[in-house]
Amino acid sequence: MANNSYKPALQKLLTETKFVDFPGDIEKTLATFDISDLAHTFVDTAFLVSAITFVGEERWIQGQNSTKEIVFAKFIKKLFKEELSPVRFLHEFFEESSLEGIAQASRNAVLIEDAVIKLARRKTKEDLRVFSATALKLISELFELEHQLTMAKQELGLHLGLSLYRTFDKLDVVFNLDYLADKGMVSPVENTERLYEGAGVGVQSGYSTAVTALRYLNLKKGSRFIDLGSGYGRVGIVVGLMRPDVEVIGYEYVPHRVQIATKAAQNLDIDKHVTFLVQDLSAPDFKIPLADTYYIYDSFSDNTYNHVISQLLEIAAQRKITIVTKGNARFRFETPEQRTKWSSPQELDNGNLCFFRSH
Ligand SMILES: C[S@@+](CC[C@H](N)C(=O)[O-])C[C@H]1O[C@@H](n2cnc3c(N)ncnc32)[C@H](O)[C@@H]1O
């Protein structure tokens, strides 16, 4: 199927009020999609679920603040200029519909999204890789759109109601990154953050963080990217899929997390340039290898931080490097002592993501 021609078929599935044969109808339609159409469908349906929740909230807020009756078609038409622009192909249906009508589309979107994932996982490694890389490229564009809309609203003193933060988390199912594997786990080191059972989804960077970092880093072809404390490998997998020309290494000392990340890289056929290794970064005999970019999502004990940062400083004395921090890790590079050693941070996502460059 050529580009865009999946859209009428997807619209038909979204607007179906009752499937005659469920899930057969969905599967039959998806079977006619090529791998790129499937990736578009995954992203469109995931986006729709968040977008329709936002439309419902926005409709409610406007209803509270207005004495006039709100004409749904007019109200929704405006949203297609900005927040709903990624699914503009659905505008006629939405304009003719009602809130209940599009809520039905949202329920169908969840079913379609799950069916796409099921189908993608049955594909060859090569297809799964293309599916995932295509989806990530589209997702990256959507996060960039969200960023631009947020900034435009901020200038007007307004808040963007649409949030895509966890919208694409079902990619974990595509990659089989089952963070619930931590269940029952006993921490190898007492009181070490995020190692214990129940650390939950917060143990991983959001896909938004990973694709945003990648968009603004401008990694050089042939460069090396190291994730220090790589968890289930989300970041490494995103970098590996979107930048097959970059070598990725992740170090992590919880063995089952490394196992899950490694399996994902193998299933996606990116394991030639993406490697995950079991390693305690605080081990005195471990030397962090040379790389161009190091990623740290707040995770370490003081001892580990000291050990890691002193090695990064040694590396920075030999070559220019970039440290990417997510969350509180930034503060380790902003102490009075460290501040002189790095550029002041380039901040993204309100400082949740920072780039520190060596001088
Ligand atoms: C917050 S998670 C971040 C995971 C991944 N970088 C991401 O952003 O999705 C931090 C990880 O660092 C690991 N970690 C903590 N201390 C470590 C150490 N001394 N050596 C290796 N890994 C460590 C934890 O087990 C955890 O999986």
Of ligand 1's listed atoms, the one at least distance from the Cα of 229 is: 12
Degrees to nearest 5, angle at CA 192 with 191 and 196: 85
Q: Is residue 210 predicted with pLDDT exceeding 90?
A: yes
Q: What is the mean pLDDT of residues 318-345?
A: 96
Q: What is the mean pLDDT of residues 179-206?
A: 64
Q: Is residue 167 predicted with pLDDT exceeding 70?
A: yes
| Mean pLDDT, the chain, whole residue set | 92
Tell me how far apart the 2 most distant CA atoms of the chain are, in Å: 71
Q: What is the mean pLDDT of residues 211-219?
A: 97
Please tell me the pTM assigned to this model. 0.94
Report the alpha-carbon distance of residue 19 to residue 16 in Å, rounded.
Answer: 6
Output the pLDDT for position 27: 96
Report the alpha-carbon distance of residue 115 to residue 31 in Å, rounded.
Answer: 10
What token pair was written down for 263?
Answer: 């399996």
pLDDT bin (cut points 50, 70, 90) of residue 192 is low
Closest-CA residue to 105 (of 91, 120, 85): 91
Q: How far is the CA of 266 from the centre of ligand 1 (A)?
A: 21
Q: Is residue 183 predicted with pLDDT exceeding 80?
A: no
Output the pLDDT for position 318: 94
Q: What is the mean pLDDT of residues 154-158?
A: 93
Output the DSSP codes for 107-165: HHHHHHHHHHHHHHHTS-HHHHHHHHHHHHHHHHHHHHHHHHHHHHHHHTT-------T
Mutate to test the pocket of ligand 1, among 169, 197, 230, 286 (most ligand atoms within 8 A of CB): 230
Q: What is the CATH code for 176-357?
A: 3.40.50.150
**Percent of the residues in the chain that have a pLDDT greater than 90, as a whole number:** 80
Contacts of 317 (CB under 8 A, 6+ apart): none
Output the DSSP codes for 26-82: HHHHHTTS-HHHHHHHHHHHHHHHHHHHHHHHHHHHHHHH-SSPPPHHHHHHHHTTT
pLDDT bin (cut points 50, 70, 90) of residue 61 is confident
Pick the residue whose CA is nearest to atom 2 on ligand 1: 203
Of ligand 1's listed atoms, the one at least distance from the Cα of 282 is: 19
Sheet holding 274-278, edge to edge: 274-278, 247-252, 224-228, 293-297, 322-326, 353-357, 346-348
Residue 311, helix vs strand vs coil? helix
Contact 227, 235 (CB under 8 A): yes
DSSP-assigned letter for residue 345: P
pLDDT bin (cut points 50, 70, 90) of residue 178 is confident
pLDDT in tens, 241-267: 999 999 999 999 889 999 999 999 999
Q: How far is the CA of 231 from the centre of ligand 1 (A)?
A: 5
Output the pLDDT for position 68: 78
Contact 323, 296 (CB under 8 A): yes
pLDDT bin (cut points 50, 70, 90) of residue 298 is confident
Cis peptide before 23 (omega within 30 of 0): yes
Output the pLDDT for position 197: 46
Q: Is residue 164 predicted with pLDDT exceeding 80?
A: yes
pLDDT in tens, 84-129: 999 999 999 999 998 888 999 999 999 999 999 999 999 999 999 9
Pick the residue whose CA is nearest to atom 6 on ligand 1: 230
pLDDT bin (cut points 50, 70, 90) of residue 1 is very low
Q: How far is the CA of 232 from the centre of ligand 1 (A)?
A: 9
Of ligand 1's listed atoms, the one at least distance from the Cα of 250 is: 6
Q: Which range in 65-74, 292-301, 308-317 is most confidently predicted, on average pLDDT?
A: 308-317
Q: What is the mean pLDDT of residues 201-211?
A: 87
Pick the residue whose CA is nearest to atom 11 on ligand 1: 229
> Which residues are 342's β-sheet partners?
358
Output the pLDDT for position 202: 66
Output the pLDDT for position 59: 87
How many alpha carbons fall within 13 Å on the CB side of residue 289? Answer: 13
pLDDT bin (cut points 50, 70, 90) of residue 72 is confident
Higher pLDDT among residues 72 and 234, named by residue: 234
Output the pLDDT for position 205: 92
Pick the residue whose CA is nearest to atom 27 on ligand 1: 231
Output the pLDDT for position 67: 76
